[in-house]
């Protein structure tokens, strides 16, 4: 069957099972947009290519499917960069398709020519430049296989305009990806498993560190069975918070720079760490030379380059987390962890766990109280958070009951992520209740996507915790720069009610907790997406705070006097 390159693109997307693409057109991708007219794939016209990339990312995080973004060359392609880097850092499978100037113009600084395969080398798993229509199907099929193989991530396919326009024989079968990319997880050798079992049985103070890999490999049930059988408590990274039932007696909670104090202290006292699909980020370890000094370490990880990168480990089990855990669990026997669990309960009592976190009373409502109210009213919602103080309070307060119910930019910490990612999540899971939690700073990055939300007829709600500050920056200035507030005060906020209305949303301003309670209730009940602006305490800070690079035990619990 003879098809144009553009028709082949849509044929491949359909056969890969893609139901929606997020995009924005332009000159060099026009043949593909023209061929889209005859495709059954839904196209969501975004308002900015960065928004489109975060939507594809949110779609993938919420559903486990591969997100697809499409853009033109030059400025369209460079607008993808932050979104691709965000997905790369958090191992989110994406395929980006960009138009490129015609092959005869390549390298001539043609209008809207950018070497996007070059630009994206460090922020994609792979990038292809396709100049011949017969290479389109193999590249797209390989891109989907690569995005999902091993540790997932984004892949970019840049296709010249002439390759999109020319006709060629379409050969789906002959374009199958090479065999090594059709990923079949291999089991871990028995000798390695035996070593792990021996280390686990010898331990008295073991601790599981649960990361994003649990969600990515679908290992929720497997980790639960493993932890319960052996009797091992579980601490979670930011992206691992929805990987374990939060009310389970073995769940300790959030670790790292703003994690719960008892969780961090447990790491320092443990005699064995079992790291599952996490990568010992500096926000988790603080000073790596003093991290978990008494613990032997087992690292279960799919990406060999992560092993011994930040923290040296005693044993690495390389492979798909679910496969490894399902091999391991039948071999472990319950460990005598009673005294260890009792001592952890003691630590929790010391820090008043049921009431944690608390912030000092200040002027305006407490951001923590707003999130506690949201937790009461919308306990099953998919929470999509932006980056800053509100993100950390959300992680401390909210209990994420099911996998894929906390979507946040962990590795890159991308402000402007939440709104578009939430739109992608809602498209992936139309029946889910979706909330954005954002700051007054971050919501102004990518706020143009409010229009996409209304255009697509979607209902999500947006909580803007307005502290009239780049709060997290202000907090670091308070602690590490003698409170000199250089460039961190946002005295000018838009009228968020009018902004919401301008885009067809409902806008509500809230200044008391009574108003907060009612506004959340009404936003959930209504049919229209609602932006609630909460005027929160401008001086509140997130505690504990482990200063960057410091020892875990040096965590700070209050503002400097």
CB-count exposure of residue 105 (10 Å: 0-12, 13-18, 19+): middle
Q: Choose the stretch contacting Mg ion; rule: CB under 5 A; options: 216-224, 269-277, 459-467, 477-485.
A: 459-467
Q: What are phi and psi of 330, to 5 degrees?
A: -65, -20
- The answer to whether 161 is a known catalytic residue is yes
One character per residue 375-414, x = contact with ligand TPP (rule: CB under 6 A): -----------xxxxx----------------------xx
Q: Is the sign of the CA dihedral 411, 416, 418, 420 positive or negative?
A: negative
- Establish if 62 lies at the interface with ligand TPP (CB under 6 A): no
DSSP 2: E
Set 111, 336, 480, 558: catalytic member: 111
- Near ligand TPP by CB under 6 A: residue from 39, 467, 477, 530: 467
**Which one, 337 or 391, has the nearer CB to Mg ion?**
391
Q: How many residues bind ligand TPP (CB under 6 A)?
A: 20
Report the alpha-carbon distance of residue 156 to residue 117 in Å, rounded.
7
**Per-residue interface string for the shown chain with ligand TPP, residues 414-433, x marking contact by CB under 6 A:** xxx-----------------
* Other Cβ atoms within 10 Å of 324 Cβ, number: 27
Bin 308: left if φ > 0, else alpha if -120 < ψ < 50, else beta.
Answer: left
111 is catalytic: yes
Q: Which is nearer to Mg ion, 238 or 387 (CB)?
A: 387
Q: Which does 442 bind (CB under 5 to 8 A by kind): ligand TPP, Mg ion, none?
A: ligand TPP
Identified binder of ligand TPP from the candidate list 168, 230, 421, 472, rule CB under 6 A: 472
* C-alpha atoms less than 13 angstroms from C-alpha of 401 in its C-beta half-sphere: 7
Q: Which of 153, 256, 319, 439 binds ligand TPP (CB under 6 A)?
A: 439
Site string for ligand TPP, 258-297 (x = CB under 6 A): ----------------------------------------
Q: Which two tokens stand for residue 253?
A: 């909670």
Which residue matches tokens 């009673």? 338
- C-alpha gyration radius of the chain: 24
Select the residue interacting with Mg ion from 439, 452, 462, 477 (CB under 5 A).
439
Instruction: Find out whether 367 and 467 touch, Cβ atoms under 8 Å.
Output: yes
What is the maximal distance between C-alpha atoms in the chain? Answer: 75
Of the pair 160, 475, the CB lying nearest Mg ion is at 475
Mapping DSSP to helix (H, G, I), strand (E, B) and coil, where does residue 101 land? coil
- DSSP-based three-state secondary structure for 520: helix
* Side-chain-side CA neighbours of residue 245 (13 Å): 10
Selecting among 112, 448, 455, 538, the annotated active-site residue is: 112
Q: What minimum distance in Å lies between the beta carbon of 542 and ligand TPP?
A: 8
One of 471, 503, 505, 519 touching Mg ion (CB under 5 A):
471
CB of 306 to ligand TPP, least distance (A): 23
- Nearer Cβ to ligand TPP (119/315): 119
Is 442 a residue that touches ligand TPP (CB under 6 A)? yes
Task: Work out how close the CB of 464 gets to ligand TPP at its nearest, in angstroms, rounded to a whole number.
Answer: 9
Question: Which pair of tokens denotes residue 219?
Answer: 């290992």
- Phi/psi of residue 315, nearest 5 degrees: -150, 135
Q: Does position 369 bind ligand TPP by CB under 6 A? A: no
Question: Binding-site residue total for Mg ion (CB under 5 A)?
Answer: 6
Q: Residues 104-133 vs ligand TPP: string with x where CB under 6 A?
A: ------------------------------
Residue of 125, 161, 348, 506 marked catalytic = 161
- Specify the residue, 467 or 477, whose C-beta has the smaller distance to Mg ion: 467
Q: Give the contact letters, 190-229, x = binds to ligand TPP (CB under 6 A), - = no.
A: ----------------------------------------
Q: For Mg ion, which residue of 4, 337, 467, 475 counts as binding (CB under 5 A)?
A: 467
Start-to-end CA distance of the chain, whole Å, equals 75
507, β-bridge pairs: 531
367 contacts 439 by C-beta, under 8 angstroms: no
Find the shortest distance in angstroms from Cβ 439 to ligand TPP.
Answer: 2
Known catalytic membership, residue 472:
yes
Q: Let me know: does 388 contact 415? Beta carbons within 8 Å.
A: yes
- Closest CB to ligand TPP: residue number: 439
Contacts with Mg ion, 24-63, as mask; x by CB under 5 A: ----------------------------------------
Between 150 and 413, name the residue whose CB sits nearer to ligand TPP: 413
* Residue 11: active-site member: no
Q: For the CA atoms of 339, 345, 349, 352, what is the dihedral angle to 10 degrees?
A: 160
Q: Of the listed 291, 472, 534, 555, which one is catalytic? A: 472
Whether 99 contacts 47, CB under 8 Å: no
CA distances from 407 to 92, 109, 410 (A): 11, 39, 9
Measured distance CA(282)–CA(354) in Å, rounded: 28
Stretch that binds ligand TPP, among 2-10, 49-57, 253-261, 468-476 (CB under 6 A): 468-476
The token pair that represents 4 in the structure block: 């144009």
Residue 470 tokens read as 């780049």
Which H or E element spans position 525? helix 513-525
Residue positions annotated with a catalytic role: 49, 111-112, 161, 472
Binding stretches for ligand TPP (CB under 6 A): 386-390, 413-416, 439-442, 465, 467, 469-473
């Amino acid at each position: 069957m003879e098809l144009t390159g553009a028709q082949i693109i849509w044929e491949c997307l359909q056969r890969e099972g893609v139901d929606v693409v997020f995009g924005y057109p332009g000159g060099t991708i026009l043949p593909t947009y023209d061929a889209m007219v005859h495709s059954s794939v839904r196209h969501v016209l975004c308002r900015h290519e960065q928004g489109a990339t975060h939507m594809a990312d949110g779609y993938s995080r919420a559903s486990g499917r591969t997100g697809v973004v499409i853009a033109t060359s030059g400025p369209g392609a460079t607008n993808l960069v932050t979104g691709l880097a965000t997905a790369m850092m958090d191992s989110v499978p994406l395929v980006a398709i960009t138009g490129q100037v015609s092959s005869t113009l390549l390298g001539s600084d043609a209008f809207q020519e950018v070497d996007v395969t070059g630009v994206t080398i460090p922020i994609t798993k792979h990038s292809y430049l396709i100049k011949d229509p017969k290479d389109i199907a193999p590249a797209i099929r390989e891109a989907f296989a690569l995005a999902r193989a091993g540790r997932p991530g984004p892949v970019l396919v840049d296709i010249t305009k002439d390759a999109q326009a020319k006709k060629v024989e379409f050969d789906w079968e002959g374009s199958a990806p090479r065999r090594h990319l059709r990923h079949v997880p291999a089991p871990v050798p028995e000798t390695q498993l035996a070593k792990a079992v021996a280390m686990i049985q010898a331990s008295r103070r073991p601790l599981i560190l649960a990361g994003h890999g649990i969600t990515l490999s679908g290992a929720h049930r497997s980790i639960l069975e493993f932890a319960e059988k052996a009797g091992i408590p579980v601490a979670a990274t930011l992206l691992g918070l929805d990987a374990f039932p939060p009310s389970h007696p073995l769940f300790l909670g959030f670790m790292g720079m703003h994690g719960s104090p008892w969780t961090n202290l447990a790491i320092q006292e443990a005699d064995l760490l079992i790291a599952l699909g996490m990568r010992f980020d500096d926000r988790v370890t603080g000073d790596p030379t003093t991290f978990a000094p008494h613990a032997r370490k087992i690292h279960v990880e799919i990406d060999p380059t992560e092993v011994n990168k930040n923290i040296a480990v005693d044993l690495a089990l390389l492979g798909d987390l679910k496969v490894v855990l399902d091999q391991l669990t039948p071999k472990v026997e319950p460990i005598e962890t009673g005294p260890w669990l009792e001592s952890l309960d003691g630590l929790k009592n010391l820090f008043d766990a049921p009431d944690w976190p608390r912030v000092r009373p200040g002027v305006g409502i407490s951001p923590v109280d707003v999130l506690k109210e949201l937790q009461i009213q919308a306990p099953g919602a998919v929470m999509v958070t932006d980056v800053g103080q509100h993100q950390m309070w959300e992680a401390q307060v909210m209990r994420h009951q099911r996998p894929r119910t906390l979507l946040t930019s962990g590795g890159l910490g991308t402000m402007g992520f939440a709104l578009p990612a939430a739109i992608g999540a809602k498209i992936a899971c139309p029946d889910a209740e979706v909330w954005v939690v954002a700051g007054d700073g971050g919501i102004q990055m990518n706020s143009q996507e409010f229009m996409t939300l209304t255009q697509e007829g979607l209902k999500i709600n947006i909580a803007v915790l307005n502290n009239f500050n780049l709060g997290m920056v202000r907090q670091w200035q308070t602690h590490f720069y003698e409170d000199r507030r250089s460039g961190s005060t946002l005295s000018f906020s838009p009228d968020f009610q009018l902004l919401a209305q301008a885009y067809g949303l409902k806008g509500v301003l809230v200044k008391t907790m009574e108003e907060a309670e009612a506004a959340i209730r009404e936003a959930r009940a209504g049919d229209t997406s609602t932006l609630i602006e909460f005027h929160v305490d401008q001086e509140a800070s997130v505690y504990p705070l482990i200063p960057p690079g410091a020892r875990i035990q040096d965590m700070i619990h209050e503002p400097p006097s």
